[in-house]
Structure 1
Amino acid sequence: MNAFRIALNELRRLSAGTLPKLAMAALVLVPLLYASFYLYANYDPYGRLDKLPAAMFTSDAGAKDSTGATRNVGREVTGELVKSGTFQWHEVSEKDARDGVRDDKYSFAIGIPRDFSTALLSSGNFTPQQATITLTTNDANNYLAGTIAKQVADQVRKTIAEKVGGEAADRFLVGFSTIYGKISDAANGAKQLADGAAQLQTGQHQLADGASQLATGSSTLATGLNTLKTSTAQLPSQTQQLATGAGQVADGNQQVADAASLAASASADIQGKLDGYRTQLNTDLHNAGLSDTQVNGILAQLDQLRSPVDQANTKIQTANGDLAKLAGGARQVSDGAHQLASATPQLTSGIAQASDGANQLRDGAAKLNDGEKTAVTGTDQLASGANQLRDGLSSGLSQIPNPDDPTRTATANTIADPVAVTANGVASAGTYGAGLAPFFISLATWIGAFVLFLLIRPLSTRALTAGAAPLRVALGGWLSSAVLGIAQVIVLFAAVTWLVGIHIAHPLGALGFAILVSLAFTSVVHALNAFFGAVGKFLGLVLLVLQLVSAGGTFPWQTIPDALYPLHIVLPMGYAIDGFRHLLYSGASLQILGDVGVLLAYLVGGIVLSTLAARKHRVWTVSALKPELSL
């Protein structure tokens, strides 16, 4: 009796009668019922979040932003959330929201407090406060709903931060544009100021040249009068000669008076020019955009520099009057030369006074000259400073950003959200159900193998009694379960792909791998039942539980406790899940030889253990004839 005949006899036994046929069909459909219904129910739960009831409330009182406009950001956010339709939003009061979450009417609630807008807009007024939103969850309703709510709240927070940050950055950049315009106006005013200062500098140099000429003329006059004084020292003894020379003195004095008149006229002309320059400077500074206070300050400094010139002009005008009187006196001297002899002391005294006045005129003209030199220096500094101001403002203007509207908007958005995530999925499951498919297909295959041996006998008693070879008996007992296991995975894959709609990247490879998984799992469960008898069924259930917690079907297996790592490495379901992931998802690596090798090892190991069990059961014992436990 060969192994195939033993397996065929077992299948005939299972199909003898209507109820056995129905039972065998049910065994084939068990993995389908387990995996396909679960995957169907959880195919895309995130795509149906709009069915999840959630509450939204706002107490925001609004606030004014930096431009003075009234904003109610809480109301804006609430409207956008409700309109988004991501959840089944219900806008209610704060009390109704909290009560609804407590009573399982709403899965969670998001609330916005009264000072929300005030806090969000506080940075624009340099009184920064952190705005808050409240999230109310109830794990007694559903733990995952609370987890989803936390992700939603974090996304809402991020969206609000990007929105407010973008607006703040845009206002910041607009401020730069405003500064740019003001600095540009100031630069133009500084250029006009520099031009006016250059004109003032030119006029001041001309005034200094005139003052220098006046000082030279005054010095010459003083020298002449001093000489006259010396020459008239012996006038009493030269009275007769004076009569002749009186006319000459009168003429000379007239020339001096004329020269002094020219000097007085020149000084008055300089004063007029200074007044004109002061008026022009006043106009230019106001045109440059300077305030009245700034203009008055500059004019005050100019008036202070001009003070020596005014004082010199006063002295020049006084000296001019004195010289005019001197000329008239000289003429009288000429007319009254004969009277001069008797009035010689008085004449000598008058000449001495004239000499002193000339010396005073010389000294005043010298002071005027010194004042003009100081004024020239100040004017040169003013011109230099105005040029530096003009150049500095022009240079600084080029360093102030002045973006256009599209650039400013793009820059503001980048400042508010500087980092973006580019997702590059090497392999994509597509949906939540597809992501769990490797785990539940593997789990359903193990369960399918487990339930087969509720009806299938692991070892044929007839073959054992007939003395068939242990390997044939083991293979015959396993082949019957292997055939039904293959039927299980074929039906399961048909339902998963056609009914549930899960896309499989490599369908033929996945189906072949599923058949290998089924053969390995039925081999292991068959070996446990063959070697341990009724206890083997319990061990198969224990292995199921151990693989549930260690296979890494939901969370990455690296996140399980370290004590469970050996179970993941030793037990076969983790390798089955890994292989299915590589075959079900597009873009995944097809390096599954390690998974295939481990499953083949379990398949062969199960057959070896079953062979040892068949050899063991060739000897009948009392416990075999009357077992202590029968399942």
Structure 2
Amino acid sequence: AMVLLPLLYGCVYLVAFWNPYNNLSALPVAVVNQDQPVTASGEQVDVGNQLTTTLVNGKQFDWTVTDAGAATAGLDNGTYYMVLTIPSSTSADIASLATNQPKPAQLQLTTNNANSYLVSLIAEQASTQITQALTQQVDSQFAATTLSGLQTIRASLVKAASGAQALATGLDTANSGAAQLVTGTKEVAAGDQQLATVANDVRSGLSAAESDLKAAVAQAQSYAQSHPTDPIAQKIAQGLVALQAKFDGVVTKADTSIAAIDKLGAGSQRVATGMASLAAGITKLDAGAHELATGLQQGVEQIPTYTPAQQAAVAAMVANPVSVDDQTVNASASYGTGFAPYFMPLALWVGTLVAFMMFAPLPMRSRVSPYQSPFGAVVTGMTPMVIVGIAQVAVLSIVLRFFVGVHAVHPILVGGISLLISVVFLAIIQLLMVALGVAGRLVALVLLMLQLCSSGGTYPVALSPWFFKTISPFMPMTYAVDALRRTINGGELNSVVVDCLILAIFGIGAFSLTVLVTTYKRVITMSDLKPEITL
């Protein structure tokens, strides 16, 4: 047993504390969702419920959804080791990311050193999980909001594109009208040239008519001079016929001129038509330009504007959209103070075990005396040990308070509970030694080892392997550590009363069993007279 005891201690300790962070899924943690959903960009933002669902389904901790009152009570009595509170403004804060005044969400994670000191360190793991979960949600929300905004901008740009198409059509119409205008203008120019030519022809014809008319007059005069008789009338008639023919030519030229003038009028009409088409195209062009401008303006209005400071704020929030405010109630003043409730029962157990090396657990005279009952014999054996225990508690309390610096919230209760623990440990070790003799000391050492691994003095017992979680409620040190932790660090005292009652039951039970064993050990055998250890 002496050879295997160090091996047993080393192996059991390593197994118990091998990797408690692998068992965080068994650590009871409460989440209080007070968040109020909001509507942003036409979409509902419900960060609280989404985060709660993510945490519960993630199973990195044993999350329980509850209300604020139950969570606070559970944190006080040790039902929960941490409480996450999601404030009512969380969704509104996350939704502010889409504005030019973003505000990061702030959650609250509360621990209680009256339940465990190291759970404050474990809270960092919880903060990381919470931050990662909410950051993923915010990234998704930001992406959704951005895409929604892009869709809105796209709609405005589509409208602008429609205006641009109308503008292009108007330009085509205007271009066609302009081409018609050019053609008509050319035709007008050609008509003008023809009109000028006709005018010259008319002028030439008139000149010729004038010459012919003069010749006819000359002939008529000559005829009159040479033939003053009747035949002159014939000549006049012939002249008149010729004159009529000339005038017919004039008429023909006039008709040609009129035709040319008509052609010039048609060209002018085409110019007018082209101008009308051009005007219509320009009107359509103007409407398209207005539509384009309106669409582009609406698209611009959908794009938020940010100052450099606002840009930095948005970038910072996207990177860190949430902060977790870690709060600790009944906080330990120091690392040593946090572990004092663990080491004090250890010291009292070892102190009692060492004291029993100096004093017999049951004086032989009291054991065999017919004048002393088993009850009296056990009391006689306990009396000097109680005195030693009182001295041990006094010295331990004074040194811890004035030399080490452990400042308890309830120092008197700490002293009284320490004395109760000492007496209970005394009764248990006395029982082991009376019942088992020298082997009782080895059993006491093994029992100490099991208690150190299952009392929750370091990591919460919920993180321990199943064996230590199973035996924890049956170990007196579990209640000793809890009672001292709550009186040193502070916290609700109802649990302390329960702890003390359970410790008293352990002590009374051990004392009663010792009396019972003593009843059957009233006779001294030869083995009782032999040395406990021989070489």
**Separation (CA, whole Å) in 1 of partners of 2:398 and 2:255:** 139
Does structure 2 conserve the Cα–Cα contact (< 8 Å) formed by 1:333 and 1:340? no
Aligned 1:197-216 pairs, distance under 5 A: none
Mean Cα deviation higher: 368-377 or 306-315:
368-377
User: 1:392: how far off?
Assistant: 2.1
**Separation (CA, whole Å) in 2 of partners of 1:414 and 1:436:** 38
Name structure 1 gaps, 5 residues minimum.
1-147, 163-168, 174-186, 188-192, 198-293
Aligned 1:370-449 pairs, distance under 5 A: 370-449=273-352
Does structure 2 conserve the Cα–Cα contact (< 8 Å) formed by 1:551 and 1:574? yes
Counterpart among 360, 363, 373 of residue 460 in structure 1: 363
Partner of 1:307: 179
Does structure 1 conserve the Cα–Cα contact (< 8 Å) formed by 2:174 and 2:277? no
Deviation by residue 1:329-363 (Cα, 9 ceiling, x = unmatched): 54565663757623345334423423432342343
Distance 1:562 1:550, change over 3 A: same
User: 1:304: how far off?
Assistant: 5.1
Partner of 1:546: 450
Aligned 1:4-83 pairs, distance under 5 A: none
Counterpart among 480, 502, 519 of residue 576 in structure 1: 480
**Separation (CA, whole Å) in 1 of partners of 2:497 and 2:534:** 40
Does structure 2 conserve the Cα–Cα contact (< 8 Å) formed by 1:517 and 1:576? yes
Does structure 1 conserve the Cα–Cα contact (< 8 Å) formed by 2:389 and 2:422? yes
**Separation (CA, whole Å) in 2 of partners of 1:431 and 1:567:** 30
Partner of 1:353: 256
Does structure 1 conserve the Cα–Cα contact (< 8 Å) formed by 2:198 and 2:256? no
Distance 1:508 1:530, change over 3 A: same
Deviation by residue 1:174-193 (Cα, 9 ceiling, x = unmatched): xxxxxxxxxxxxx9xxxxx9
Partner of 1:511: 415
**Separation (CA, whole Å) in 2 of partners of 1:479 and 1:386:** 107
Partner of 1:565: 469
Does structure 2 conserve the Cα–Cα contact (< 8 Å) formed by 1:506 and 1:583? yes
Counterpart among 170, 175, 190 of residue 318 in structure 1: 190
**Aligned residues between the structures:** 351
Does structure 1 conserve the Cα–Cα contact (< 8 Å) formed by 2:429 and 2:444? yes
Deviation by residue 1:33-80 (Cα, 9 ceiling, x = unmatched): xxxxxxxxxxxxxxxxxxxxxxxxxxxxxxxxxxxxxxxxxxxxxxxx
Describe the SS at the equivalent of 1:591.
helix
**Separation (CA, whole Å) in 2 of partners of 1:574 and 1:583:** 15
User: 1:630: how far off?
Assistant: 7.5
Does structure 1 conserve the Cα–Cα contact (< 8 Å) formed by 2:191 and 2:264? yes
The answer to whether 1:486 aligns with 2:421 is no
User: 1:554: how far off?
Assistant: 1.6
Describe the SS at the equivalent of 2:495.
coil
Aligned 1:129-140 pairs, distance under 5 A: none
Distance 1:630 1:427, change over 3 A: farther
Overall identity of the aligned pairs, in %: 28
Partner of 1:343: 246
**Separation (CA, whole Å) in 1 of partners of 2:473 and 2:534:** 33
Deviation by residue 1:272-298 (Cα, 9 ceiling, x = unmatched): xxxxxxxxxxxxxxxxxxxxxx9xx99
Partner of 2:40: none
Partner of 1:613: 517
Deviation by residue 1:417-467 (Cα, 9 ceiling, x = unmatched): 112111122332243222222111121111111111000111122333432
Describe the SS at the equivalent of 1:398.
helix
User: 1:318: how far off?
Assistant: 2.5
**Separation (CA, whole Å) in 2 of partners of 1:558 and 1:351:** 123
User: 1:325: how far off?
Assistant: 4.1
**Separation (CA, whole Å) in 2 of partners of 1:439 and 1:491:** 17
Name structure 2 gaps, 5 residues minimum.
1-120, 136-141, 147-159, 214-241
Describe the SS at the equivalent of 1:422.
strand
**Separation (CA, whole Å) in 2 of partners of 1:588 and 1:413:** 41
Describe the SS at the equivalent of 1:457.
coil
Letter in 2 for 1:311: T
Partner of 2:64: none
Counterpart among 591, 614, 617 of residue 495 in structure 2: 591
Does structure 2 conserve the Cα–Cα contact (< 8 Å) formed by 1:513 and 1:580? yes
**Separation (CA, whole Å) in 1 of partners of 2:394 and 2:243:** 156
The answer to whether 1:602 aligns with 2:506 is yes
**Separation (CA, whole Å) in 2 of partners of 1:347 and 1:334:** 7
Does structure 2 conserve the Cα–Cα contact (< 8 Å) formed by 1:568 and 1:574? yes
Letter in 1 for 2:192: N
Task: Please tell me the root mean square deviation across aligned C-alpha atoms, in Å.
Answer: 3.8
Runs of 4+ in 1 over 6 A off after TM superposition: 297-301
User: 1:610: how far off?
Assistant: 1.9
Deviation by residue 1:149-195 (Cα, 9 ceiling, x = unmatched): xx9xxx9xx9xxx9xxxxxx9xxx9xxxxxxxxxxxxx9xxxxx9xx
Describe the SS at the equivalent of 1:600.
helix
TM-score (norm 2): 0.58
Does structure 2 conserve the Cα–Cα contact (< 8 Å) formed by 1:426 and 1:588? no
**Separation (CA, whole Å) in 2 of partners of 1:590 and 1:418:** 40
**Separation (CA, whole Å) in 2 of partners of 1:351 and 1:557:** 126
Counterpart among 422, 426, 430 of residue 526 in structure 1: 430
Partner of 1:220: none
**Separation (CA, whole Å) in 2 of partners of 1:435 and 1:465:** 47
Does structure 1 conserve the Cα–Cα contact (< 8 Å) formed by 2:461 and 2:468? no
User: 1:624: how far off?
Assistant: 2.8
Letter in 2 for 1:435: G
**Separation (CA, whole Å) in 2 of partners of 1:365 and 1:298:** 24
Letter in 1 for 2:300: L
Counterpart among 464, 476, 479 of residue 380 in structure 2: 476
Deviation by residue 1:512-558 (Cα, 9 ceiling, x = unmatched): 11111111111111111122221211211111122122222222211
**Separation (CA, whole Å) in 2 of partners of 1:498 and 1:590:** 28
Letter in 2 for 1:323: L
